Structure 1
Amino acid sequence: MSQRVILVHGIWMPGPVMAWLGARLREAGFDCTTFSYHGVTRGPQEAVARLGDLLARDSAHILAHSLGGLVAMQALHDHPALAVERVVCLGSPLHGSRAVHGMRQRPWAAALLGQAAPLLERGFEQWSGRAQVGSIAGSVPHGLGHVFGDFADAHDGSVAVAETRLPGLADHAVIRASHSGMLFSTEAARLAIRFFRAGHFAGDADATP
């Protein structure tokens, strides 16, 4: 029986943006479903509640990009009994976003974040839930986030590598990709498949799920 993976997109993006990654996971034998939400206008709280309802139907893994990773982890925090074994976050500012903090200092930029701003800026202090969480960061600095974040270290154009780290993670990896480029990265897909199968990013990704 195929393992189910819920795909969760980031801010400003529609669900279909996860289609390329979904196709790679289906080729590897996973059953993928895309979860769509309106993070800016309706806020993460509604998304968290709806995602919790979806995850309550059956066991699943989660592959989430950017804000989607925070939404997924908040859902698991609020509903610790959910049968989610593993989560892979792509470019998610799990420890909080400096770029979002900078945007919130400018009213015109803050408006672009809408109700998603507090969760993006705050992030989490640590992860202590029962699901294993792996985080993948990008190191190609293509994007406008650095204009607001004033990054002094490696980043993907929107999120610093350091912001993707969090105490309690099962594993962490850095790949050559920009923030949006991760959505079409063969390496990101390969690492996600490894993590869903073994709970870590190193090892054989070709084994049967």
Structure 2
Amino acid sequence: MAKDRVVILHGIAQMAWNMAAVTFFLRRQGFDPVPLTYPSTAHGLDALADRLKAELAAKGVWDGPGRVHFVTHSMGGLVAARYLEKYRAEIPESRLGRVVMLAPPHGGSEVADLLHRQGLYRWFYGPAGQELTTEARTEPDPPYYDLGIIAGTSGWIFPAAGALFGGPHDGRVAVARTKLPGMRAHTTVPASHTFIPWRPAVLRLIASFLKTGSFEELS
């Protein structure tokens, strides 16, 4: 039986190794993970979606009989969403699986609001960093695919950022801003934005959603 593939996308200013725990766990769960490193700080979201399309084609990810899922962290979720929307007509509906996003800033981030005009921020995070403000993310596209979102609620690692949020957050993104109209499921875990891809409970939730479309942990 053909294994389902899972495209794994890291967040801004990171690399594929930041998602190593996800990659290793999903391989043990019987999936064929495809971790990608992409130039997250060199381009805007639209160009990154184009690069993702080219990378998936080059690797033949859509070739073969199995389904193709996506697991993302932070801005990787925005890249995947842009790709899936922009190239919807080219994506075989019968092959597209489920999507799990960890701490996606669908509604932007108050941290980006505070810092996006500063020179160091603009230099380090590049064009995509300017698209992470709450103003820039006012009308995200609703998903046509099965989408599960996991948000973190432990922002202690970023104590100064706590003053920016009016509710639960992970130190970088408010829980409320991770949600997207039309998502299939949403849950929270006591994890920070940086370390949410490494939490064992999160890994189990990812596998559960990919297999069943639910965040009920598998026995």
When normalised by structure 1's length, the TM-score is 0.89
Q: How does 1:110-129 map to 2 (within 5 A)?
A: 110-121=122-133, 122-123=136-137, 125-129=139-143
- Structure 1 equivalent of residue 16 of structure 2: 15
For this pair of structures, how many residues does the alignment match? 205
Answering whether residue 16 of structure 2 is matched by residue 43 of structure 1, we say no
- Superposition misfits of 4+ residues, deviation over 6 angstroms: none
**CA distance, structure 1, for counterparts of residue 6 and residue 198 of structure 2:** 17
Structure 1: gaps of 5 or more residues: none
- Partners of 2:12 and 2:74 within 8 A in 1: yes
Change in 2 beyond 3 A, CA 1:146/1:97:
farther
Structure 1 equivalent of residue 71 of structure 2: 63
Q: Structure 2 regions of 5+ residues with no counterpart?
A: none
Per the alignment, do residues 65 and 7 of structure 1 end up closer, same or farther by CA in structure 2, a change over 3 Å counting? same
1:46 Cα shift? 3.1
Per the TM alignment, residue 187 of structure 1 is displaced from its structure 2 partner at its CA by 1.1
Task: Specify which of 65, 80, 97 is matched with residue 72 of structure 1.
Answer: 80
| Post-superposition CA distance 1:142-169 (Å, at most 9, x none) | 3449539711211111111111011111
2:163 aligned with 1:163: no
| Paired AA for residue 67 in structure 1 | M
User: Is the Cα contact below 8 Å between 2:41 and 2:128 reproduced in 1?
Assistant: yes
Q: Give how far 1:123 is off.
A: 3.1
Residues of 1 paired with 2:159 and 2:50: CA distance?
28
User: 2:193: which partner in 1?
Assistant: 179
Deviation at 1:20, TM superposition (A): 1.1
In structure 1, give the amino acid aligned to 2:201. E
Query: Residues 179 and 99 (structure 1 numbering): CA distance in 2 closer, same or farther, change over 3 Å?
Result: same
Is residue 106 of structure 1 aligned with residue 118 of structure 2? yes
Cα 1:67–1:143 change in 2 (3 A) is farther
8 A contact 2:148–2:185 mirrored in 1: yes
Please state how far the C-alpha of 1:60 moved relative to its aligned partner: 0.7
Q: TM-score of the superposition, structure 2-length normalised?
A: 0.85
